[in-house]
Protein backbone atom coordinates (compact mmCIF):
# COMPACT_ATOMS: atom_id res chain seq x y z
CA UNK A 1 0.00 0.00 0.00
CA UNK A 2 1.29 3.46 -0.96
CA UNK A 3 0.32 6.75 0.66
CA UNK A 4 0.99 10.38 -0.22
CA UNK A 5 -0.13 13.49 1.65
CA UNK A 6 0.19 16.99 0.25
CA UNK A 7 -1.31 20.37 1.10
CA UNK A 8 -2.36 23.20 -1.18
CA UNK A 9 -2.37 26.71 0.26
CA UNK A 10 -4.78 29.42 -0.79
CA UNK A 11 -5.22 33.12 -0.21
CA UNK A 12 -7.76 34.28 -2.77
CA UNK A 13 -7.89 37.85 -4.03
CA UNK A 14 -11.64 38.06 -3.50
CA UNK A 15 -14.11 36.99 -0.84
CA UNK A 16 -15.81 34.48 -3.18
CA UNK A 17 -13.89 32.48 -5.74
CA UNK A 18 -13.89 29.10 -7.48
CA UNK A 19 -10.41 27.72 -8.24
CA UNK A 20 -9.87 24.72 -10.51
CA UNK A 21 -7.33 22.50 -8.72
CA UNK A 22 -7.58 19.46 -11.00
CA UNK A 23 -4.07 19.84 -12.45
CA UNK A 24 -2.50 20.05 -8.98
CA UNK A 25 -4.36 16.92 -7.85
CA UNK A 26 -3.30 15.07 -11.01
CA UNK A 27 0.33 16.02 -10.37
CA UNK A 28 0.17 14.73 -6.79
CA UNK A 29 -1.36 11.43 -7.97
CA UNK A 30 1.38 11.07 -10.57
CA UNK A 31 4.06 11.70 -7.93
CA UNK A 32 2.45 9.11 -5.64
CA UNK A 33 2.84 6.36 -8.28
CA UNK A 34 -0.49 4.91 -7.14
CA UNK A 35 -2.07 3.01 -10.04
CA UNK A 36 -5.27 1.78 -8.32
CA UNK A 37 -6.70 3.55 -5.30
CA UNK A 38 -8.47 6.61 -3.97
CA UNK A 39 -7.73 10.30 -3.67
CA UNK A 40 -9.31 12.40 -0.91
CA UNK A 41 -9.40 16.16 -1.46
CA UNK A 42 -10.50 17.95 1.70
CA UNK A 43 -10.75 21.63 2.59
CA UNK A 44 -9.39 22.36 6.04
CA UNK A 45 -11.42 25.46 6.73
CA UNK A 46 -15.07 25.92 7.69
CA UNK A 47 -15.86 28.63 5.15
CA UNK A 48 -14.52 26.98 2.00
CA UNK A 49 -15.48 23.87 0.04
CA UNK A 50 -14.30 21.22 -2.38
CA UNK A 51 -16.61 20.03 -5.14
CA UNK A 52 -16.61 18.40 -8.57
CA UNK A 53 -18.38 19.93 -11.53
CA UNK A 54 -17.90 21.50 -14.96
CA UNK A 55 -15.37 24.30 -15.51
CA UNK A 56 -17.76 26.67 -17.23
CA UNK A 57 -18.01 30.38 -16.38
CA UNK A 58 -21.79 30.57 -16.75
CA UNK A 59 -22.23 27.66 -14.35
CA UNK A 60 -19.93 29.31 -11.81
CA UNK A 61 -21.98 32.50 -12.04
CA UNK A 62 -25.10 30.39 -11.50
CA UNK A 63 -23.51 28.85 -8.39
CA UNK A 64 -22.75 32.33 -7.02
CA UNK A 65 -26.27 33.57 -7.65
CA UNK A 66 -27.89 30.41 -6.26
CA UNK A 67 -25.72 30.38 -3.13
CA UNK A 68 -26.36 34.06 -2.49
CA UNK A 69 -30.10 33.40 -2.82
CA UNK A 70 -29.93 30.49 -0.35
CA UNK A 71 -27.58 32.18 2.13
CA UNK A 72 -27.37 35.93 1.46
CA UNK A 73 -24.52 37.85 3.06
CA UNK A 74 -26.72 40.85 3.89
CA UNK A 75 -28.27 41.72 6.20
CA UNK A 76 -25.45 40.52 8.46
CA UNK A 77 -27.71 40.70 11.55
CA UNK A 78 -29.98 37.95 10.20
CA UNK A 79 -27.54 35.30 11.49
CA UNK A 80 -26.97 34.41 15.16
CA UNK A 81 -23.35 33.44 14.37
CA UNK A 82 -22.63 37.06 13.50
CA UNK A 83 -23.67 38.12 17.03
CA UNK A 84 -20.15 37.03 18.06
CA UNK A 85 -18.65 39.89 16.03
CA UNK A 86 -18.13 37.78 12.90
CA UNK A 87 -19.70 38.68 9.55
CA UNK A 88 -19.26 35.35 7.77
CA UNK A 89 -22.23 33.18 8.80
CA UNK A 90 -23.30 33.02 5.15
CA UNK A 91 -19.87 31.57 4.24
CA UNK A 92 -20.38 28.70 6.71
CA UNK A 93 -23.78 27.93 5.19
CA UNK A 94 -22.45 28.10 1.62
CA UNK A 95 -19.68 25.67 2.55
CA UNK A 96 -22.28 23.29 3.99
CA UNK A 97 -24.22 23.37 0.73
CA UNK A 98 -21.19 22.86 -1.56
CA UNK A 99 -19.43 20.25 0.59
CA UNK A 100 -16.27 19.64 2.55
CA UNK A 101 -14.49 17.01 0.45
CA UNK A 102 -14.52 14.69 -2.52
CA UNK A 103 -13.13 11.18 -2.98
CA UNK A 104 -12.11 10.21 -6.50
CA UNK A 105 -11.17 6.76 -7.78
CA UNK A 106 -7.72 6.32 -9.29
CA UNK A 107 -7.61 3.83 -12.15
CA UNK A 108 -4.44 3.08 -14.12
CA UNK A 109 -2.74 5.99 -12.35
CA UNK A 110 -5.33 8.58 -13.41
CA UNK A 111 -8.38 10.28 -11.93
CA UNK A 112 -11.33 8.14 -12.99
CA UNK A 113 -13.60 10.99 -14.07
CA UNK A 114 -16.71 11.29 -16.19
CA UNK A 115 -16.87 13.79 -19.04
CA UNK A 116 -16.27 17.42 -18.02
CA UNK A 117 -15.60 16.65 -14.35
CA UNK A 118 -13.09 18.93 -12.63
CA UNK A 119 -12.15 19.50 -8.97
CA UNK A 120 -12.75 22.95 -7.47
CA UNK A 121 -11.81 24.80 -4.35
CA UNK A 122 -14.73 27.06 -3.44
CA UNK A 123 -13.94 30.10 -1.31
CA UNK A 124 -16.74 31.93 0.51
CA UNK A 125 -14.82 34.09 3.01
CA UNK A 126 -11.48 34.69 1.31
CA UNK A 127 -8.51 36.99 1.37
CA UNK A 128 -6.83 35.03 4.15
CA UNK A 129 -4.72 31.88 4.37
CA UNK A 130 -6.48 28.53 3.95
CA UNK A 131 -5.35 24.96 3.30
CA UNK A 132 -6.55 21.91 1.34
CA UNK A 133 -5.45 18.34 2.11
CA UNK A 134 -4.76 15.87 -0.71
CA UNK A 135 -4.42 12.24 0.46
CA UNK A 136 -3.67 9.48 -2.06
CA UNK A 137 -3.98 5.84 -0.97
CA UNK A 138 -3.58 2.71 -3.08
CA UNK A 139 -1.32 0.26 -4.87
pLDDT tens-digit readout, 70-96: 999 999 999 999 999 999 999 999 999
* Structural domain for 51, as ranges: 2-138
Residue 125: band (very low, low, confident or very high) from pLDDT cuts 50, 70, 90: very high
CA terminus-to-terminus distance, the chain: 5
Considering its fold, how many domains does the chain have in total? 1
Cβ count within 10 A of residue 25: 23
The pTM score is: 0.96
CA distance 36 to 106: 5
pLDDT value of residue 1: 95
The domain that contains 52 carries what CATH number? 2.60.120.460
pLDDT value of residue 52: 98
* 8 Å CB contact between 16 and 124: yes
Amino acid sequence: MKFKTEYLNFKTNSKHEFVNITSQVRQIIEESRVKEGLCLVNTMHISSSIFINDDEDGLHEDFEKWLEHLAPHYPIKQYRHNDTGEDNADAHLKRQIMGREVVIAITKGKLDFGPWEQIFYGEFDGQRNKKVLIKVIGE
